[in-house]
Amino acid sequence: NAGVTQTPKFRVLKTGQSMTLLCAQDMNHEYMYWYRQDPGMGLRLIHYSVGEGTTAKGEVPDGYNVSRLKKQNFLLGLESAAPSQTSVYFCASGVAGSWSQYFGPGTRLLVL
Protein backbone atom coordinates (compact mmCIF):
# COMPACT_ATOMS: atom_id res chain seq x y z
CA ASN A 1 0.00 0.00 0.00
CA ALA A 2 1.95 3.00 -1.29
CA GLY A 3 -0.52 5.68 -0.14
CA VAL A 4 -0.01 8.89 -2.12
CA THR A 5 2.89 9.09 -4.55
CA GLN A 6 4.15 12.02 -6.62
CA THR A 7 6.25 12.10 -9.75
CA PRO A 8 8.81 13.61 -10.19
CA LYS A 9 10.49 14.43 -6.87
CA PHE A 10 12.50 17.33 -8.27
CA ARG A 11 12.54 19.22 -11.54
CA VAL A 12 14.26 22.25 -13.01
CA LEU A 13 12.45 24.14 -15.77
CA LYS A 14 13.28 27.12 -17.88
CA THR A 15 10.80 29.97 -18.12
CA GLY A 16 8.16 29.15 -20.70
CA GLN A 17 8.57 25.39 -20.58
CA SER A 18 5.67 23.13 -19.73
CA MET A 19 5.42 20.10 -17.51
CA THR A 20 2.96 17.80 -15.77
CA LEU A 21 3.14 16.63 -12.18
CA LEU A 22 1.53 13.29 -11.48
CA CYS A 23 -0.19 12.31 -8.26
CA ALA A 24 -1.42 8.78 -7.64
CA GLN A 25 -3.26 7.30 -4.66
CA ASP A 26 -4.18 3.68 -3.97
CA MET A 27 -6.61 4.28 -1.10
CA ASN A 28 -9.71 4.69 -3.27
CA HIS A 29 -10.19 8.23 -1.97
CA GLU A 30 -12.76 10.45 -3.65
CA TYR A 31 -11.11 13.77 -2.98
CA MET A 32 -7.75 14.92 -4.24
CA TYR A 33 -5.89 18.21 -3.87
CA TRP A 34 -2.90 20.10 -5.18
CA TYR A 35 -1.13 22.60 -2.90
CA ARG A 36 1.93 24.72 -3.18
CA GLN A 37 4.15 25.50 -0.22
CA ASP A 38 6.21 28.65 -0.12
CA PRO A 39 8.35 29.91 2.78
CA GLY A 40 6.29 31.71 5.41
CA MET A 41 2.99 31.09 3.63
CA GLY A 42 1.91 27.63 4.69
CA LEU A 43 0.08 25.52 2.12
CA ARG A 44 -2.13 27.16 -0.46
CA LEU A 45 -4.71 25.25 -2.44
CA ILE A 46 -4.25 25.34 -6.21
CA HIS A 47 -6.99 23.01 -7.50
CA TYR A 48 -8.98 20.15 -6.12
CA SER A 49 -11.26 17.34 -7.25
CA VAL A 50 -14.25 15.80 -5.51
CA GLY A 51 -14.42 12.81 -7.82
CA GLU A 52 -13.36 11.27 -11.11
CA GLY A 53 -13.94 13.69 -13.98
CA THR A 54 -14.42 16.73 -11.72
CA THR A 55 -12.07 19.58 -10.89
CA ALA A 56 -12.42 22.94 -9.16
CA LYS A 57 -10.29 26.01 -8.51
CA GLY A 58 -8.68 26.68 -5.19
CA GLU A 59 -7.04 29.76 -3.78
CA VAL A 60 -4.20 30.19 -6.32
CA PRO A 61 -5.25 28.51 -9.61
CA ASP A 62 -3.75 30.94 -12.14
CA GLY A 63 -1.09 29.39 -14.37
CA TYR A 64 -2.09 25.81 -13.56
CA ASN A 65 -4.48 23.27 -15.03
CA VAL A 66 -5.56 19.91 -13.68
CA SER A 67 -7.24 16.74 -14.82
CA ARG A 68 -8.75 13.75 -13.04
CA LEU A 69 -9.50 11.20 -15.73
CA LYS A 70 -9.06 8.27 -13.36
CA LYS A 71 -10.09 8.18 -9.73
CA GLN A 72 -6.60 7.29 -8.55
CA ASN A 73 -4.73 9.97 -10.51
CA PHE A 74 -4.69 13.75 -10.31
CA LEU A 75 -2.46 15.63 -12.75
CA LEU A 76 -1.21 19.18 -12.35
CA GLY A 77 -0.03 20.96 -15.47
CA LEU A 78 2.03 24.08 -15.98
CA GLU A 79 1.58 25.28 -19.56
CA SER A 80 4.20 28.04 -19.50
CA ALA A 81 6.31 27.99 -16.36
CA ALA A 82 7.26 31.25 -14.64
CA PRO A 83 9.83 31.90 -11.88
CA SER A 84 6.92 32.70 -9.52
CA GLN A 85 5.93 29.03 -9.78
CA THR A 86 9.14 27.94 -8.08
CA SER A 87 7.79 26.10 -5.07
CA VAL A 88 7.24 22.75 -3.41
CA TYR A 89 4.06 21.08 -4.64
CA PHE A 90 2.08 18.65 -2.53
CA CYS A 91 -0.70 16.36 -3.54
CA ALA A 92 -3.17 15.05 -0.99
CA SER A 93 -6.16 12.76 -0.95
CA GLY A 94 -9.03 12.39 1.46
CA VAL A 95 -12.33 10.70 2.17
CA ALA A 96 -15.67 12.02 3.35
CA GLY A 97 -16.44 11.54 7.00
CA SER A 98 -13.05 11.83 8.64
CA TRP A 99 -11.95 14.58 6.26
CA SER A 100 -8.34 13.80 7.14
CA GLN A 101 -5.91 14.38 4.31
CA TYR A 102 -3.06 12.10 3.32
CA PHE A 103 -0.15 13.78 1.63
CA GLY A 104 2.40 12.74 -0.96
CA PRO A 105 6.11 13.39 -0.41
CA GLY A 106 6.14 16.59 -2.46
CA THR A 107 7.72 17.77 -5.70
CA ARG A 108 10.31 20.50 -5.62
CA LEU A 109 10.11 22.66 -8.75
CA LEU A 110 12.65 25.28 -9.69
CA VAL A 111 11.86 27.61 -12.60
CA LEU A 112 14.81 29.56 -13.92
Partner 1 sequence: AQTVTQSQPEMSVQEAETVTLSCTYDTSENNYYLFWYKQPPSRQMILVIRQEAYKQQNATENRFSVNFQKAAKSFSLKISDSQLGDTAMYFCAFFLSGTYKYIFGTGTRLKVLA
DSSP β-ladder status, 43-49 and 31-37 = antiparallel
Nearer CB in complex with partner 1: 32/111? 32
d(CA 81, CA 95): 31
Burial class of residue 25, CB neighbours in 10 A (0-12, 13-18, 19+): buried
Does residue number 43 form part of the binding site for partner 1 (CB under 8 A)? Answer: yes
Q: Which stretch binds partner 1 (CB under 8 A): 17-25, 67-75, 76-84, 91-99?
A: 91-99
User: Of these, 17, 58, 67, 95, which contacts partner 1 (CB under 8 A)?
Assistant: 58
Residue from 55, 90, 109, 111 touching partner 1 (CB under 8 A): that is 90
C-beta closer to partner 1: residue 38 or 79: 38
What are the residues binding partner 1 (CB under 8 A)?
A: 31, 33, 35, 40-45, 48, 50, 56, 58, 88, 90, 92, 98-103, 105-106
